[in-house]
Structure 1
Amino acid sequence: MYDITISQKIRALRKKRHWSQKHMAELLGISVPAYSKIECAFTEVSVSRLKLLAGIFEVKASWLLDEEEAVVNQENEVLKEKLNACTAKVMVLQRKLLERFEQKI
């Protein structure tokens, strides 16, 4: 099983939104180095900051604390990406098949 920390979740949520550490620091009202320490797990996240982060990312603070649920969500994201890739391949094959069919007509 994976060991997903709060810091890793925060970083993943930030990257998913294509936000910079500078943007996050501004949202939290802290310096960029202070925010970087949160993502690198060099500093613990206070309860008030945890609530603020949960609000920013529109997730429950309890989710940020729950390692098992994060693993399931992470695995679901990987499966969604694989499904999307397969769907795209199927669509390409369908187009090719249709083109070949139309050439024979």
Structure 2
Amino acid sequence: MSDTISPSERIRQLRLQKELSQENMADMLGLSTTAYGDMERGRTELSFSRLENIARLLDVSLPALLGFETKTLSETEWLRQENERLMASNAKLQKELDQWKERFGSLAAAEIGRQIQQNREPIGF
């Protein structure tokens, strides 16, 4: 397919190749036929998750759906790069989570100590 074709047009072409109607696609995506038709006509912005769902339904890779040439970036290479990006993002989020756990632990320990101090009954002699 040509690189000058929009993702919306590529979706339409792939749908027709799979011999699916707009109604079929709309049903599988949980959309009205009008909403799906607007996507194919380029009247609606396509979210990343929507593109992933469409690629899965049409049995093509996301790079192929978006028109990336497999000669310049193989699906395996694209997946490797995406995996590296996700692992880096995951590491960053894990570090942030650890910081929040540490902060919460310190705050919780201080609060527990304060409550224990308040609840101690004075021993009177």
Task: State TM-score, norm by structure 1.
Answer: 0.60
Task: Let me know the Cα RMSD of the aligned residues.
Answer: 1.8
| 1:30 equivalent in structure 2 | 31
**Mapped partners of 1:21, 1:64: distance in 2:** 17
Aligned ranges 1:85-96 → 2 under 5 Å: none
Aligned pairs (5 A) from 1:30-49? 30-49=31-50
Match of 1:57 in 2: 58
Gaps of 5+ in 1: 71-105
Counterpart residue number, 1:15: 16
* Distance in 1 between residues matched to 2:19 and 2:51, nearest whole Å: 20
- Cα 1:66–1:2 change in 2 (3 A) is closer
Matched pairs, number:
69
CA contact (8 A) 2:9 2:40 kept: yes
- TM-score scaled by length of structure 2: 0.51
5+ long unaligned stretches in structure 2: 71-125
Q: In the alignment, is residue 5 of structure 1 matched against residue 6 of structure 2?
A: yes
Partner SS for 2:10: helix
Deviations 1:51-91 (CA, angstroms, capped at 9, x unpaired): 10111111111222235x39xxxxxxxxxxxxxxxxxxxxx
Q: State whether residues 3 and 67 of structure 2, in contact with CA within 8 Å, keep that contact through their aligned partners in structure 1.
A: no
Percent identical across equivalent pairs? 39
Structure showing greater radius of gyration is 2
Following the alignment from structure 2 to structure 1, what is the Cα–Cα distance between the partners of residues 18 and 48?
A: 23
**1:33 partner letter:** T
**1:37 is matched by which residue type in structure 2?**
D
Per chain length, whose mean CA-contact separation is higher, i.e. which structure has more relative contact order (CA < 8 Å, sep 6+)? 1
